[in-house]
Amino acid sequence: MSELAVSLLRLSYLLALWLFVFAALGVLRRDTYGTKILRRAAGAMSLVRKRRVVAPPVPDSPSRPTDDAAPHPQRSARPAAPDSDAPNRLVVVSGPLRGTTLPLGNGLTIGRSATSNLVLDDEFTSGRHALIAPRDGRWYVEDLGSTNGTFVGRQRISRPVPVRIGSTVRIGQTRVELR
Amino acid sequence: MATVAPYPARPGRGAELGLLALALGTSIYAFAQVSLAMTGELTTDFKRFAIGYPALALVVHVLLRLRAAYADPVILPVAVLLNGTGLAMIYRLALRYQVSQPEFGQIFSRQLIWTALGVVAAVCVLGFLRDHRTLRRFTYTTMLLGLAGLVLPLVPGIGVEQGGARIWIRLGQMSFQPAEISKILLTIFFAGYLVTRRETLALAGPKFLGLRLPRPRDLGPIMGAWLASLAVLIFEKDLGTSLLFFGLFVAILYIATDRPSWIAIGLLLFSGGVVVAWRLFAHLQTRVDTWLDPFADYYESGYQLSNGLFGLASGGLMGTGWGKGRPDLTSLAFSDFIVDSLGEELGLTGLFAILICFLLLVQRGMRAAMGVRDGFGTLLASGLAFAIALQVFVVVGGVTRLIPLTGLTTPFLAAGGSSLVANWMIVALLLRVSDGARRPPPATHEIDVAGLMAAEEGSQAA
């Protein structure tokens, strides 16, 4: 083989090797996953659309006007009209976020991950820790397989448990109540 | 105001197939060059490789499509490229040894069989292990098996001593390093054990020089790991394995507790152990002397390391090209010194590409660890990724004279069946964890009201 052919073979192999490296880096760049920050208008829409799958919507959800925009015959047929007994907000009664109030809407997720509705920056909280959602007019809290558990009163819950107004749910260092 | 929303996760199997084609193409191209440079024609071994190796890689790819559709798309191609490059270099050396050292003539065909067995092992792990959390149930079983693997070479009759270290067992014709499998088993144990103990170990202790130290009674586990690694060092005389296990434990401990003081304590304990061992054992003193000046005793203890360095030097920036160098002049050029062999024929440019491939593999493991939703998976994936990183550092650092040479194998590249099988299993575990990390959580979350009612009625009746 000529000197030139040897050099060409040698350099073309190194080129192929680096081509692979850059292709892999390219895949990683396109493959970013995790969370993205959206402007409120666009983000709220997509979140609401997802939340609708989570649980049947509750009529009085002031924070999500988009809910009422879509006609929804089944829901309007429902008798669960504004009820003075029905809780409509979640209040953090102790912990770092004490005093925070969130509208319950169609249900809330609580956890450390940025996608939760109530984000708790707490070492004792799991990424997706607990879910608070309505079912047949009652509100339930469910643990989503967290490491340190969700407590209603003193009891660590292992299945969805109904919560009433004023009953305390403890997650890590935070206590929340439905009001 | 802005809100945070998840990116839609993409399975990435198409990207994986593309990268796999590149990795296979590069490996086959390397093989063709070796074959042409050494024999002047495309040998039957080349044809066997060019057909068999893509088939093996595609089996894993198809299995991933079926069983772990969201697994990381970069891990498998990187492993395929590294293993293929190692095979090409071993083939190149085997062709040379058939002339000069016939006792090593079989290294290529053996490595090819072990590659196939490694892929089969990976397929088994991916096929049978549907969720990495299953492994947590076997925390203490894996500890027993892992420790058994560590002490197996000491059993008279099956344990063999080679090159001053007693880390092999011999079964018939095959010799095997059980420590390679122990590495995986003990990573599972460390992850399972520390995920339950991390709160205790992360508890506040006295503060000293800006480091929060653990309480004395919480030192138990790290002392246990230290004594075990010292036992390996003293009885099996293998600094590399000892360093790997202790380093692995300290790394997982640090990741579990988020406390830098564990690293300080670990380094202190390990350097203490090494200093004592260095005073006691002559072969460790030789290693250190060779590291400080390999040319002082060139024809005896420094021969291998010096020749490896000469190889790297003659490779230079662009290398001599496949089959054009003389890596066979270094003893064990196909196992401990394969990085020097690759450096000679591919040059610094090629060696850096290979090191970046290792970096990618480790980074993808760490990324899977960050993304996965359970603590056990985090510790498992980061431990396995760290084991690869530490092993590459110890080997490449050893042959390039950054640190004293210790007997560890280069993952995927070096000839050695146990290492290859173990590394393919690690890749399978990382793929499994990354699948768990990237798979989007189920969109609907239905509350099981019927079950709830039944449970309530049951409790009322009771």
Structure tokens at B281: 């054992």
Q: Using CA atoms, how far apart are residues A55 and A63, in angstroms rounded to an integer?
A: 16
CB B77 within 8 A of CB A24: yes
User: What is the predicted pLDDT for the residue at A81?
Assistant: 40
Select from A1, A16, A34 the Cβ nearest to the Cβ of B7.
Answer: A34
Q: Considering only alpha carbons, which residue of chain A is nearest residue B449?
A: A135
Q: Is A22 on the interface with B (CB under 8 A)?
A: no
- ipTM of this predicted structure: 0.88
Cβ within 8 Å of residue A160, ≥6 positions away = A135, A140, A141, A142, B447, B448, B449, B452
User: What is the predicted pLDDT for the residue at A37?
Assistant: 59
Structure tokens at A131: 């879910």
Residue A14: CB atoms within 10 Å: 18
Q: Using CA atoms, how far apart are residues A126 and A129, in angstroms rounded to an integer?
A: 5
Residue that wins the pLDDT comparison between A15 and A69 = A15
In tens, the pLDDT along B132-186 reads 989 999 988 888 898 888 888 887 777 777 766 777 777 766 778 888 899 999 9
Query: pTM for the complete prediction?
Result: 0.75
Cβ contact (<8 Å) for A9 and B322? Answer: yes
In tens, the pLDDT along B323-363 reads 988 988 888 888 889 999 999 999 999 999 999 999 999 99
Q: What angle do CA B178, B183, B189 make, to 5 degrees?
A: 120
Q: Considering only alpha carbons, which residue of chain B is nearest residue A10?
A: B321
Place of tokens 């396109």: A30
Q: Contacts of residue B439 in chain A, CB cutoff 8 Å?
A: none
Q: In the predicted model, is pLDDT for residue A78 greater than 50?
A: no
In tens, the pLDDT along B120-129 reads 999 999 999 9
Q: Contacts of residue B14 in chain A, CB cutoff 8 Å?
A: none
Q: Is B459 on the interface with A (CB under 8 A)?
A: no
324-353 in B: which are within 8 Å (CB) of A? 324, 346-347, 349-350, 353
Secondary element (H or E) of residue B82:
helix B75-100
Cβ within 8 Å of residue B252, ≥6 positions away = B187, B190, B191, B194, B379, B382, B383, B386
Structure tokens at B261: 């003081």
Q: Contacts of residue A1 in chain B, CB cutoff 8 Å?
A: 36
- Return left, alpha or beta for B342; rule: phi > 0 is left, psi -120 to 50 is alpha, else beta: alpha
Q: Contacts of residue A32 in chain B, CB cutoff 8 Å?
A: 7
pLDDT band for position A73 (cuts 50, 70, 90): very low
Provide mean pLDDT across the span B11-35: 94
Q: What angle do CA B111, B116, B121 make, to 5 degrees?
A: 115
Cβ contact (<8 Å) for A114 and B4? Answer: yes
Select from B5, B29, B318 the Cβ nearest to the Cβ of A43.
Answer: B5
Q: Using CA atoms, how far apart are residues B156 and A81, in angstroms rounded to an integer?
A: 81
Distance between first and last Cα of chain B: 52
User: What is the predicted pLDDT for the residue at B440?
Assistant: 76
95-114 in A: which are within 8 Å (CB) of B? 114
Site from A6, A12, A33 to mutate, B interface, most B CB atoms within 10 angstroms: A33
Cβ within 8 Å of residue B396, ≥6 positions away = B339, B355, B402, B410
Select from B12, B373, B443 the Cβ nearest to the Cβ of A127.
Answer: B373
Cβ contact (<8 Å) for B15 and A27? Answer: yes
Lowest average pLDDT, out of A54-63, B283-292, B413-422, goes to A54-63
Q: Considering only alpha carbons, which residue of chain A is nearest residue B40?
A: A1
Cα radius of gyration rounded to whole Å, chain A: 25
Q: Using CA atoms, how far apart are residues A128 and B232, in angstroms rounded to an integer?
A: 42
In tens, the pLDDT along A41-53 reads 443 444 444 443 3
Residue B160: CB atoms within 10 Å: 13
Q: Is A35 on the interface with B (CB under 8 A)?
A: yes
The closest alpha carbon to B231, from B218, B246, B247, belongs to B246
Q: In the predicted model, is pLDDT for residue B19 greater than 90?
A: yes
292-321 in B: which are within 8 Å (CB) of A? 318-321
In tens, the pLDDT along B222-270 reads 777 778 877 877 777 778 888 888 899 899 989 988 888 888 888 998 8
Select from A10, A34, A115 the Cβ nearest to the Cβ of B321.
Answer: A10
E strands within A41-165? 89-94, 101-103, 108-111, 118-119, 130-135, 138-143, 150-152, 155-156, 161-163
